[in-house]
Structure 1
């Protein structure tokens, strides 16, 4: 046990310093990459699937409005004419539908800037808006978690100094009512903080109590493990967590006890999330290259996942649910994002011959060139998106907001200092945001406004917005 802790501490000392690439040239920085600037996205998806039609319905103008305005190209409907059509009630509704609204708003991408929200001397690991966009959470390796009020000039609302920090703050999650924040480290204890108190400074058990929620109830002998991913359920009553002991945990906050442990994978569980508002289904992604779907309604009787999805050639760093109980995306160390439909899942992992004939470790090595064109022989994914770089850390990816974009895009951080935005249906890279001087681990798109915030290993938190200066929106 002592040796394990010493190894972690030594690794932390060697790798926790602020990371800025010495070869970085600030003169090369530009907010949006050109088509010939850097690696390109895979745009051959041409997605022919139910989700393509759903995305179209969520983000295309009303059919009657398009016919009246006599537009030849669906995605070039004039916003001025749409406004005139709304005033003339051409659609018969007297107002814009949610799809009309998304058709207008999803052209206004957050590509201007960035402006700097904050900059610390340690790596930024987490950056997340609250569900309503009013608060923004940033977590740093140097034990600080900062909560900003995004509606009041990004004023610092809470400065939390973490308790029992081991290695780094690996994840945070805000409760749906924004009263509590939980944070995880490389420890089996998840700490919960009341962020509704009046005090700005929240030093663990000095100025405020950070209650420790113990996740190691099933382990004997003092075994210690770390938690990579933690999320509140939609009702705020439970937490789901993924850990480096290959397991998924569910914690009942009201009962203040661990309610479920699933020995889920054959390697680290890097990411977990609930599939939808019911919280019955859980998605998990692991370094064993597999995504799994767990149905808690039948888990105790079966003891197995509801299904398995294979397609990544390397470990999975992050998952994001479309929140419909059907689709999710995953970021993989094979330098790709994959889109999944859980109706394609199988009961067992496909038996495939070994396809990896090289030695590689993503923590300090570049991805081998000969591996870039490899394909999983039993790929169950719906689509694949490439162009970004997934190296050194568990880089995160997301669907764009439903309210403003109809989830028309997916976006991700990248080891090459950028944020990438891809079109969900075509797979084309529509924007590449370049500012940071090191790996962008996390990023978050405001749920209602064209604002995106990125966090980097250079210690910076940067805010991108729509230009708003007469520039044309994206076509």
Structure 2
């Protein structure tokens, strides 16, 4: 039996194996399929036997996911959950198995990128001065190549309007530039071939006081919401061409912000203070007070993306985790998590302490936590997939 040894070994799922035979429980062959040795011999690649039965002489077709979910609900397997074989079968149908492959190259590091809402366009911004918009449906052909204005170190964020006509991009300054990308011109040179209008987010015209880290269009394309290094959230009215709302939102840099749904009333924000906050513009209790707070991250929040249903969103943190949230679990009080951190760490040049990955916030309100990636030298962003909004992309 090689590295498996001889004799009987116990498992936490209640089954036992020996060197000469495999013990079968009440489900017979299904127990065999769940065995770890069976997995190594690739016998776990099929769904549960009750879901994959076919009449003699008929072609066996892939079992639909809906049928498998129904089977789980009525407890076909007797376990009340998907077996490892079921999970493998579902994942093999939905997770990408090809790639990655190179689409294009830039002269400097790509700092931020995202799909349009319908997934037809992909926007990539480099650290120096280029933003490229790719037409995904046309074999990733470059739709627009934008040469930006002078930047402060990098483009921190971009956002494409819902009608895909305008693009806004932010740098580490109070000016956000908006470009008409709906024109037929492929090459866009700032203020030469096309006008890049500057939108001033500063309260008193002093552009040197802070920088914009995140900017997003509203669903109707009439407003922008932005996150600043001065701990404030801003809402910009594009028709009035001015800031309509300025909120003292966090105790540290606000790294990310977005509208929660189509109404534009709800706003989600994330900060270096490790908190996610929910803001309702219709019912501010007091200036600077959020409608709810969601705790769980142990380090600063790098990015937030809404499922656009006004309920769920995901966040990525410098604590090397991505979390899924339901705002119905938000609270009005916060607890200090600094006592959990007894280490000094900077993502820009230091590896995250291995033991810190095992720490957990004592009042974690997230629905799920995803681990395995690393935040090192750059801030990872997380998104729901654009078309179906079920899976998380990095």
Q: TM-score, normalised by structure 2?
A: 0.75
- Give the whole-Å Cα distance in 1 for the aligned partners of 2:51 and 2:324: 27
What does 1:63-212 correspond to in 2, within 5 Å?
Answer: 72-73=50-51, 107-212=93-198
Question: What does residue 281 of structure 1 align with?
Answer: 266
Within 2, Cα distance between the matches of 1:324 and 1:222? 35
Give yes or no for contact 2:274–2:297 (8 Å, CA) kept in 1: yes
1:302 Cα deviation (Å)? Answer: 5.3
Q: How far apart are the structure 1 equivalents of 2:338 and 2:177? A: 43
How many residue pairs align between the two structures? 319
1:258 aligned residue (243, 253, 262): 243
Measure the CA separation in 1 of the matches of 2:207 and 2:90: 56
More displaced, 270-279 or 132-141?
Answer: 132-141
Q: Secondary structure at the match of 2:262?
A: coil
Q: In the TM superposition, what is the alpha-carbon distance from 1:265 to its structure 2 partner?
A: 0.6
Deviations 1:172-226 (A, max 9, x none): 111000111111111111100001112111111112110000000x246554321
**CA shift for structure 1 position 151:** 2.1
Q: Distance in 1 between matches of 2:246 and 2:285?
A: 11
- 1:191–1:212 CA contact under 8 A, matched in 2: yes
Higher relative contact order (CA 8 A, sep 6+): 1
1:367 Cα shift?
0.5
Q: 1:121 to 1:402 in 2, by over 3 A?
A: closer
Q: How far apart are residue 345 of structure 1 and its match?
A: 1.1
Q: Secondary structure at the match of 1:114?
A: coil
SS in structure 1 of the partner of residue 244 of structure 2 = strand
Alignment of 1:2-81 (within 5 A): 72-73=50-51
Long gaps (5+) in structure 2: 1-47, 53-59, 68-88
Distance 1:152 1:411 in 2: 21
Please show how residues 237-386 of structure 1 align to structure 2 within 5 Å: 237-299=222-284, 301=286, 303-351=288-336, 354-386=339-371
Decide whether the 8 Å contact of 1:166 with 1:187 is kept in 2. Answer: yes
Local SS of the residue matching 2:328: helix
Aligned to 1:410: 392
- Cα distance, 1:390 vs structure 2: 1.4
Q: C-alpha distance in 2, partners of 1:71/1:222?
A: 66
Deviation at residue 116 of structure 1 after TM alignment: 1.9
Alpha-carbon distance between aligned partners in 2 of 1:235 and 1:200, rounded to the nearest angstrom: 26
8 Å CA contact retained: 2:175, 2:207:
no
Aligned-residue offset at 1:249: 0.7
Cα separation, partners in 2 of 1:113 and 1:279, compared to 1, 3 Å: same
Whether contact under 8 Å (1:79, 1:104) holds in the other structure is no
Change (3 A) 1:82 1:113: closer
- What secondary structure, in the 3-state scheme, does the structure 1 residue paired with 2:379 have? coil
CA distance in 2, matches of 1:221, 1:186: 14
Deviations 1:334-362 (A, max 9, x none): 11111111111111212456121111111
CA RMSD of aligned residues (A): 2.5
Q: 2:122 and 2:213 mapped to 1: Cα distance?
A: 20
Structure 1 or 2, whichever has the larger Rg, is 2
- How far did residue 153 of structure 1 move? 2.8
1:390 aligns with 2:375: yes
* Residues 79 and 177 of structure 1, relative CA distance in 2, 3 Å threshold: farther
For 2:385 and 2:375, the matched residues in 1 are separated by 19
Indicate the SS of the match to 1:354: helix
Q: What residue in structure 2 maps to residue 33 of structure 1? A: none
Q: Which residue of 2 aligns with 1:88?
A: none
